[in-house]
Amino acid sequence: MCLDMKLEIMTKRTSTIIKRFINIYEELKLLGFLGAVFRFYYEFSLRTGLKKLLSGGVPRVTININLNEWRRNKQRLFLPSLEDAHVFLNSFLGDKEKDRILKIANDSIHGKIICFSKWVGDYGYPVNWHFNPVRRVSWPNDVHWSKVMKFEKKCGDIKLTWEINRFPHFYYMIRAYVLTFDDKYVKGIIEQIRSWKDSNTYGYGVNWNSGQELAIRSLAWIFALYMISDNNNFTEGDFQNLLTLLYLHAHHIEKNINYAYYAVHNNHLIGEALSLYAIGTLFPYFKESERWRKKGKNILQSRKCLKQFYADGGYCQSSFNYQRLALHYYLWAVRIAELNGDKFKDDVLDILRKSLKFLYSFMNFDNGYLPNWGTNDGALLNPWTSCDYRDYRPLISSLAYFVNKNRIFSGGLWDEELFWLFGNEAFNSSKNSANTALSGKFIISGLHILRLSDNTFATFRCGSLIDRFGQADQLHVDLWWKGLNIAIDGGSYLYNDELQYHKYFMGTSSHNTVVVDHKDQMLLFRRFKWLYWTKAKLLNFSDKFAEGEHYGYEKLKGNIIHKRRIEILDNGDYLVEDNLYLKNGKANHTYDLHWLLNDFNYTVSVLEENIFRINLQTSLGKYYIFIGSLTKCSLTVNRAFAHKETPDGWQSPYYGEKIPALSVHFACNTDNGIMFFTLFTENVNSLDIFKRIMEGKYACIANS
């Protein structure tokens, strides 16, 4: 090898090393001093085995109550009596809903579990609690939890194993038991709890790895205990076993909660604190119970948790799904407190009230769906309604009742959650008819809505990142027409497997915005760690238009700014204008206007040079998207494009599931910036108005 080649290789390696150190410095800066120090200590303790050494053995569990005493004197939980629930569910649910509950419950007894509220995973019978049903491999159950993640490459996405260990199927099995009084469901629950205890030695395997997983599991077990404890098949031994497991879960969470407290800043901390509070309050039979209760409550109403919620009602994780999970945690906490002579600060009520307004603002009133915004791991803490996973009416109903003591919607399947949380009193309460969803801006959260009606609206993502979560989605637009999501957010799919898809769904290329030089708007340094957070600014807003810009591409040559305006025209069409301009001189770049559309039948019409019409055949009739520019561009549409490195044309409405979408690219290469125009319309004959808009806007830019 010649000297010049060696020098070139050494220079590239040196440059790579320098960039990595710069990125690590940026990461530490974002963590803050305490967070960085704790994270360093935590990683050091995992890698060296110090964490395992300090974990100690299995704690001694002393339980000072028996089943009959507990039945007579148990602490109050919000759940209805078995008899009241039986009457309610049998009168409230239709045959279709009942059949579905029984089918899911029957399958669950035999290890076939509905995963992420959507698809069935077969975990075997008896259940293999360490199994990944997609890869069909098992995580080791004899490796300490602090070391088990080294098997991730072989065993795949850990969430596919954790899902059954969250026991979402218990909610179906309990509802089936309530409907039928059939003992087989109680026996199935008892058998699975026994099996779990036998298969999960304390401190070993993936099921002791995450405090939040322990928290969600413990809540499902508490739900089951309160609903089946009077059944004759539930024995003293089963009671003692379950209390032992709850003790071990609280003990493990308390011992390791500092990781969530100092290094995470998300719903993990809220969930873990709730578990301590719930177990400490509902089971005061352990010597640690009062400490757990106080510690959980103090964390739940501390700034560490409350500041996760923004003043405008949004949530730090830039995700509707994660906000729902955090709010369900708080609903458990405040209801347990209400019924047991305790009370949380008014600050907790305030976040529930503001979150209610925020979530309600973005809802499609036809089906209760919200846009698939942000990271979405499929979590649904309490699947105790027959609504779809993406339907937010159960949560919004619960928040509205807790805050205002009335119902926000007319009656529907979502009311079952009201019954479980608040009983017949809430179900029979009056409806508040004063609620109206309007256009609105949420500056802190950086998400805004331009609403034409209850089921036709557009959301606009524009606001600087203030937390590390979310996706590279600045200036993304979701478009809903008559309840159909036309222009969509792709979702998340998998966090820990098929990493090319993880990068795709997290990155800019799956969102409805302009991609420059095939680059993300910021740097995905680790799987969930963005660096060099994108700055953005909402410039103008009214109930008919929004305008903003982001600076994620300002670092590129020429310092590119992307400005986008979205407007509701007088006839109800939505117009989107994109202006990408260079602050400093000229520089050659590739600009790709991207629209991810739902998987409709489609054709493409070439109307004029650089003006195209995409013709969609939807379930509600034909719909059209006009795309154009005065700069020469090419248009391509990819559907379910499965390239190994650069997949394209996919969506993931539910975690672990990817299905086709239409990925529209309107792209060009130029050295002087570009303007793009997109018109969403029901009218096929919109070419003339579209051309006039384009030419008028170009003239305005030229004159300015």
Q: In three state form, how does the secondary structure of 29-84 look?
A: HHHHHHHHHHHHHHHHHHHHCHHHHHHCCCCCCCCCCCHHHHHHHCCCCCCCCHHH
Cα–Cα distance, 287 to 325 (Å, whole number): 30
What confidence score (pLDDT) does residue 5 get? 52
Residue reference for tokens 């569990």: 61
Question: What is the DSSP secondary structure assignment for residue 544, as one 8-state letter?
Answer: S
User: Three-class SS of residue 530?
Assistant: strand
| Residue 558, token pair as written in the block | 């020429």
pLDDT of residue 526: 75
pLDDT for position 26: 59
Q: Residue 605 has what pLDDT? A: 97
Residue 555: name the closest of 594, 524, 517, 527 by CA: 517
Q: Give the global pTM.
A: 0.94
Rounded Cα–Cα distance for residues 485 and 372 (Å): 10
Task: For residues 333 and 344, give the distance between their C-alpha atoms in angstroms, rounded to a whole number.
Answer: 9
Q: What is the pLDDT of residue 29?
A: 59
CATH architecture of 495-532+551-703: Distorted Sandwich (2.70)
Residue 615: φ, ψ to 5°: -105, 115
Q: CA nearest 400: which of 363, 359, 441?
A: 359
Enumerate residues 6+ apart whose C-beta is below 8 A from 255: 55
Q: How far apart are CA 322 and CA 302, in angstroms?
A: 19
Supply the pLDDT for residue 17: 58
3-state secondary structure of 515: strand
Pairing outcome for strands 529-531 and 523-526: antiparallel
In 10 A of CB 209, how many CB atoms? 19
Biggest distance spanned by C-alpha atoms of the chain: 86
Q: What is the DSSP string of 559-628?
A: -EEEEEEEEE-TTS-EEEEEEEEESSS---EEEEEEEEE-S-EEEEEEEETTEEEEEEEETTEEEEEEEE
Enter the tokens of residue 61: 């569990």
- Phi/psi at 674 (nearest 5 deg)? -160, 155
Question: If you compute the radius of gyration of the chain from its CA atoms, what whole number of angstroms results?
Answer: 27
CA atoms within 13 A on the CB side of 13: 6
CB 444 within 8 A of CB 370: no
Sign of the alpha-carbon dihedral angle for 237, 238, 244, 245 = positive
List the chain residues with pLDDT less than 50: none
The rounded distance, in Å, linking the Cα atoms of 163 and 387 is 19
Helix (H, G, I), strand (E, B) or coil at 637: strand
Q: Is 530 in contact with 468 (CB distance < 8 Å)? A: yes
Strand 137-138 to 440-442 pairing: unpaired
Instruction: Identify which of 231, 115, 108, 127 has the alpha carbon closest to the alpha carbon of residue 172.
Output: 108
- The letter for the amino acid at 597 is L
The helix, strand and coil proportions of the chain, stated in percent and rounded to the nearest 5, come to 40, 20, 35
Q: Domain boundaries in the chain?
A: 495-532+551-703
Q: How many CB atoms lie within 10 A of CB 676?
A: 24
Q: Amino acid identity of 237?
A: G
- C-alpha 383/C-alpha 324 separation (Å) is 12
- Using DSSP's 3-state secondary structure scheme, residue 224 falls into helix
Contact 334, 384 (CB under 8 A): no
